[in-house]
Structure 1
Amino acid sequence: MTKPPRSKPLLRDIDAPIRSQPQRKRNPAQPQLLFDPMPDRVEPALAKVKQRPPRGDQWGWEAKWDGYRLAVHAEPQGVRILTRGGHDWTHRFPDIAEAARALGPATMIIDGEAVVLDAEGRSDFGLLQKSLGASGNKAGNRASNAMLYAFDLLYLDGHDLRGVEYGSRRRLLEDLLNGQDGAIQISEELDADPDVLLEHARRFGLEGIVGKDRDQPYRSGRTGDWVKIKCVESEAFFIVGYEPSTALTGGFASLVLAAYRGDELVHVGNVGTGFKEAGTASLRKMLDKLAWKRKQPPVEPGDAGGKVIWVQPTLIAEIEFRAWTADGKLRHASYKGLRERQDNAVVFRLD
């Protein structure tokens, strides 16, 4: 008869310490993390456009910055700067990357907006584009004078903060950036009635204001947790043609713009102001390389002009405007600069 196996004593040595089970192996690339793995990328939270500010003490208000949305991933082994569309632009923002390294050995994801400021201290999208260059595909185009206005903290030292309410994330970010005056700075909360803030934003020529619900977690997409109230409208449109200039050789009088209606492009007006003389010639050269070869233009001509040179709908322009006309055209349009597909530039949809 086989003897039953002897049971093991609960404690082999009554004086020996009790040891816990070994933890699962940690990622060697993140040696100090004890809890949550660091996400490779987080889809950004986006602000819904509102005509008037919502009411309630839970809303915190900031200036609306006019630049590129970025996520800064800082780890002991390096820094990555990702665009809204998930492209790595670390090489294009060297000062921001260096400032992230200087924050110390902490592992973090900072959400913010890269801007270049004008002489009055306002963010200027045109200056940012000039600093970056016309194309995002050239490795040499760097915005060495850009800075990041940080407004959220998504991850810190092993803790995924997306499930934490915004008010707490905000306090952690303020502690992290306390005293920083370099290329990464806090986007200040403005302690005033939002209607008063909006009036000041109009007076100083700012884009508008952004409100964030302090009680909500970080949720990707346009959930309504974040809202924006604009002083002026600003959207992205395809350039589908241009009117040659009669006064400036190699220039143009206006650009012809288009937006989507369903799957088709439709003409939404022309823009003839906002151009910087230094960039007009280079933009004209880019447009000439995109000359439209087909008989039928890319959009119904309508009132686009009699001498339009049509081009392939490839370049995307950021256009500031005041309103829409009754027949679906932009009113008081002004050119701000080219947007880049790598920044997840979304062409405006009329529907």
Structure 2
Amino acid sequence: MARRSTSKPLLSEADAPARSRPRKPRDPAQPRLLLDPMPGRVEPCLALLKSKPPKGPDWSYEIKWDGWRGAIHIEPSGVVRVLTKNGHDWSKRFPAVVEGAKQLGVASAILDGEIVVFDEMGRSDFGLLQAALGGPRGRLPATSAAFVAFDVLYLDGHDLRQTELKARRHLLEGLMIAGDAVIRFSEDFEGDPDDFLAAACEHGLEGIIAKNRNSTYRSGRLGDWIKVKCVQSDAFVIVGYEPSIGAYGGFGSLLLAARKASQLVYVGSVGTGFKEREADALRKLMDKIPCKRKTPPIPYSGKRQVVWQQPTLIAEIAYRGWTGDRKLRHSSFKGLRELQDDAALYDLDSGD
């Protein structure tokens, strides 16, 4: 795998000093802060999907973690919150992450990162994260979850979003606790990104993220961060299932739909990737959905025996590509997503 880059003191980069925006007036609601008021929430910077990583000295490269995007808020009052991508407070679901953040020893901070559970090989695994929460739509506290931090947006009264990434990463690495901590630093690597991507895929990782080292933190999907996946993985809505007596959960496959011009369009089915307990829990969820349909909620001309349902549940699906008629190839079920998490349905128009 590519060699990890070594951190350099910021003062040694005389030709590229870290820049910061002017101070803001003190917020009366947060009188203890000397500089910038702490944001209640920051819309995340999102990675743009590309087939190849960008190259050049302006880019750094990290592993793409397979979990839930999240943010840790260490507030001036001492309260620690764990927020999802869409701003929902899931602190009670991740008590170990909350306690780990308290050990960092900072007065206030906002850390951007990924909530993960590692397998025995040290790889993040979305299915293990969902299992730690008690299965599909589970609400158990995931005591085995960790937080891989890859950015710091606010630190001890300073809003860092207008500071370059290389400076933010330098500060972030300095916060990390050595050893097998719950809050971990997402290391970056140097060298040929094609080699790094090949190594990531060989080790069974989801892919890599390329980030512009000189970029400020901009919310949205603007191209400052680029993701390249080993295997495609996206969110699709479940619109029905094929009943099967001998299969786990009593269903042979799930029928899936994506978004197209504000409508739902059938994109094929998935029949692999289910564990027994997971399939049983998923079937119970599907049976609880009200208003079973006699007709499909999407245009459908197939001949399968299907139990149609309201498009309520959203599944994360890994797949190898698309057929000529825009159906998923070699699909596999990874788990359920939640709207309050980051369940953005795959859009056939944008390919995003």
Tell me the equivalent position of 1:343: 341
User: Do the aligned partners of residues 66 and 26 (structure 1) sit closer, same or farther apart at CA in structure 2, a change above 3 Å counting?
Assistant: same
After TM superposition, give the deviation of residue 291 of structure 1 in Å. 5.8
Tell me the equivalent position of 2:90: 89
- TM-superposition CA deviations, 1:290-320 (whole Å, max 9, x none): 26534431112233x5211111100000000
Q: Which amino acid aligns with 2:305?
A: K
The correspondence of residues 93-104 of structure 1 with structure 2, limited to 5 A, is 93-104=94-105
Identical columns (%): 55
Unaligned runs of 5+ in 2: 1-24
Q: Which amino acid aligns with 1:63?
A: I
Q: Say whether residues 1:158 and 2:157 are aligned partners.
A: yes
Tell me the equivalent position of 2:308: 310
Tell me the equivalent position of 2:65: 65
Q: Which amino acid aligns with 1:80?
A: R
After TM superposition, give the deviation of residue 263 of structure 1 in Å. 2.1
Q: TM-score, normalised by structure 2?
A: 0.88
Higher mean C-alpha displacement, 240-249 vs 333-342? 240-249
Tell me the equivalent position of 1:21: none
Residue 350 of structure 1 aligns to a residue whose secondary structure is: coil
Q: Contact 1:260/1:347 (CA < 8 Å) preserved in 2?
A: yes
Q: Say whether residues 1:285 and 2:311 are aligned partners.
A: no
User: Do the aligned partners of residues 96 and 250 (structure 1) sit closer, same or farther apart at CA in structure 2, a change above 3 Å counting?
Assistant: closer
User: Do the aligned partners of residues 207 and 316 (structure 1) sit closer, same or farther apart at CA in structure 2, a change above 3 Å counting?
Assistant: same
After TM superposition, give the deviation of residue 135 of structure 1 in Å. 5.7
The correspondence of residues 206-217 of structure 1 with structure 2, limited to 5 A, is 206-217=205-216
After TM superposition, give the deviation of residue 142 of structure 1 in Å. 1.4
Q: Contact 2:26/2:34 (CA < 8 Å) preserved in 1?
A: no
Q: Contact 2:104/2:177 (CA < 8 Å) preserved in 1?
A: no
Residue 284 of structure 1 aligns to a residue whose secondary structure is: helix
Q: Say whether residues 1:37 and 2:37 are aligned partners.
A: yes
CA RMSD of aligned residues (A): 1.8
Tell me the equivalent position of 2:326: 328
Q: Contact 2:38/2:159 (CA < 8 Å) preserved in 1?
A: yes
Q: Contact 1:70/1:82 (CA < 8 Å) preserved in 2?
A: yes
Q: TM-score, normalised by structure 1?
A: 0.88
After TM superposition, give the deviation of residue 286 of structure 1 in Å. 1.1
Q: Say whether residues 1:110 and 2:111 are aligned partners.
A: yes
- TM-superposition CA deviations, 1:3-23 (whole Å, max 9, x none): xxxxxxxxxxxxxxxxxxxxx
Q: Contact 1:75/1:105 (CA < 8 Å) preserved in 2?
A: no
2: CA distance, partners of 1:171 / 1:99: 20
After TM superposition, give the deviation of residue 268 of structure 1 in Å. 0.3
Higher mean C-alpha displacement, 126-135 vs 85-94? 126-135
Q: Say whether residues 1:204 and 2:203 are aligned partners.
A: yes
2: CA distance, partners of 1:250 / 1:203: 32
The correspondence of residues 139-154 of structure 1 with structure 2, limited to 5 A, is 140-154=139-153
1: CA distance, partners of 2:27 / 2:264: 51
- TM-superposition CA deviations, 1:208-260 (whole Å, max 9, x none): 00011010100000111000111111110000111112314742110000111
User: Do the aligned partners of residues 25 and 149 (structure 1) sit closer, same or farther apart at CA in structure 2, a change above 3 Å counting?
Assistant: closer
Residue 253 of structure 1 aligns to a residue whose secondary structure is: strand
Tell me the equivalent position of 2:3: none
Tell me the equivalent position of 1:79: 80
Residue 245 of structure 2 aligns to a residue whose secondary structure is: coil
2: CA distance, partners of 1:50 / 1:25: 41
Task: Name the larger-Rg structure.
Answer: 1
After TM superposition, give the deviation of residue 51 of structure 1 in Å. 0.9
Q: Say whether residues 1:175 and 2:174 are aligned partners.
A: yes
2: CA distance, partners of 1:30 / 1:124: 42
Residue 117 of structure 1 aligns to a residue whose secondary structure is: coil
Residue 342 of structure 1 aligns to a residue whose secondary structure is: coil
Unaligned runs of 5+ in 1: 1-23
Tell me the equivalent position of 2:6: none
Residue 343 of structure 1 aligns to a residue whose secondary structure is: coil
2: CA distance, partners of 1:239 / 1:184: 34
1: CA distance, partners of 2:26 / 2:310: 53
Tell me the equivalent position of 1:259: 258
Q: Which amino acid aligns with 2:109?
A: M
2: CA distance, partners of 1:326 / 1:337: 26
**Would you say how many aligned residue pairs link Structure 1 and Structure 2?**
325
